[in-house]
């Protein structure tokens, strides 16, 4: 445990000096405030508090931004050590490869947690400022924060795995961007296209829920929207969330980080310094 903590402290320091902490926090706060301002207009008579509506908007933001931040922080984790030449010495220390990865994960999760808490917090403050009744939505906000951290853990883990597979930072960066595009953007576009051609047939009722649960970003969106019963407020794929039981999306959200870390550990084990 001490070795994991020591690694995490060093990694946090490095990320802080490389401005990652300020970049991640700044990005989250900026986007959250923009969303809070833009989302404030049509809410007056929806019958839900203002914060719950903000959380629904923030969910759509987090689906894109959290995986992006996680991949940007993680793609250098193994490939960077290989390129700098710091890996051989590190691996002669009495620390396991899994401990090294967990240390990095702890530091990156702390940064991500800080960024989403401050970002969502800023949007929440704005919501409560205009609508004192918005404090009813605090539960939804808290749920969004911890589920964002879990979503981040999944993409951090896959980022480490790509980093170990690529061995070079440039290659790892390319793979990370490709993964983000595929998992967060193209996957949903493909599902939408299938729904349209299917016209409410077997695909929409049978395969779609599974497809949504299989993608951690979609599982995250489904979980937050159905938990907040804000399905109606969300357009697009979010509308399908109503058909998926809450425990299933929660399970997907919890299992994905474990699978990603296992994948990263397996890929890192194959790296010969």
Q: Is 186 in the site for other proteins (CB under 8 A)?
A: no
235 binds other proteins (CB under 8 A): no
In the range 10-39, which residues lie near other proteins by CB under 8 A?
10, 13-14, 17-18
26 or 80: CB nearest other proteins: 80
| Choice between 88 and 132, CB closer to other proteins | 88
d(CA 124, CA 113): 16
Minimal CA–CA distance to 215: which of 268, 176, 174, 158? 158
Cβ-proximal residues to 73 (8 Å cutoff; 6+ apart), any chain: 15, 20, 24, 108, 111, 112, 156, 159
* Residue 32: closest CA among 114, 116, 109, 110: 116
167 binds other proteins per the rule CB under 8 A: no
Residue 273 lies near other proteins (rule: CB under 8 A): yes
Q: Whose Cβ is closer to other proteins: residue 85's or residue 200's?
A: 85
Contact track, other proteins, 65-94, x by CB under 8 A: -------------------xxx-xx-xxxx
Residues contacting other proteins: total by CB under 8 A: 24
Question: Please, are residues 179 and 71 in contact by the beta-carbon 8 Å criterion?
Answer: yes
C-alpha torsion sign, points 214, 216, 218, 220: positive
- What Cα–Cα distance (Å) separates residue 195 from each residue in 22, 181, 212, 252? 40, 20, 12, 22
Closer Cβ to other proteins, 197 or 272, answer by number: 272
| Structure token pair of residue 193 | 């296209």
Residue numbers at the binding site for other proteins (CB under 8 A): 2-3, 5-7, 9-10, 13-14, 17-18, 84-86, 88-89, 91-96, 272-273
């Amino acid at each position: 445990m001490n070795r994991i903590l020591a690694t995490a402290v060093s990694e946090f320091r490095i990320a802080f000096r490389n401005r990652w902490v300020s970049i991640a926090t700044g990005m989250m706060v900026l986007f959250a405030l923009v969303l809070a301002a833009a989302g404030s207009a049509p809410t007056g008579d929806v019958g839900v508090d203002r914060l719950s509506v903000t959380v629904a908007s923030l969910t759509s933001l987090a689906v894109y931004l959290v995986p992006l931040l996680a991949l940007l922080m993680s793609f250098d984790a193994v490939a960077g050590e290989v390129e700098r030449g710091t890996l051989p010495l590190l691996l002669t220390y009495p620390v396991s490869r899994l401990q090294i990865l967990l240390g990095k994960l702890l530091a990156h999760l702390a940064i991500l947690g800080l960024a989403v808490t401050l970002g969502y917090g800023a949007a929440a403050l704005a919501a409560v400022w205009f609508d004192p009744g918005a404090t009813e939505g605090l539960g939804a906000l808290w749920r969004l924060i911890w589920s964002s951290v879990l979503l981040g853990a999944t993409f951090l883990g896959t980022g480490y795995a790509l980093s170990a597979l690529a061995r070079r930072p440039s290659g790892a960066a390319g793979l990370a961007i490709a993964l983000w595009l595929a998992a967060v953007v193209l996957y949903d576009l493909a599902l939408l296209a299938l729904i349209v051609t299917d016209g409410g047939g077997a695909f929409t009722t049978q395969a779609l829920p599974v497809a949504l649960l299989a993608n951690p970003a979609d599982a995250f969106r489904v979980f937050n929207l159905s938990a907040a019963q804000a399905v109606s407020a969300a357009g697009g794929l979010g509308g399908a969330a109503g058909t998926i039981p809450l425990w299933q999306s929660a399970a997907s959200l919890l299992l994905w980080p474990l699978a990603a870390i296992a994948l990263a550990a397996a890929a890192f084990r194959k790296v010969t310094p």
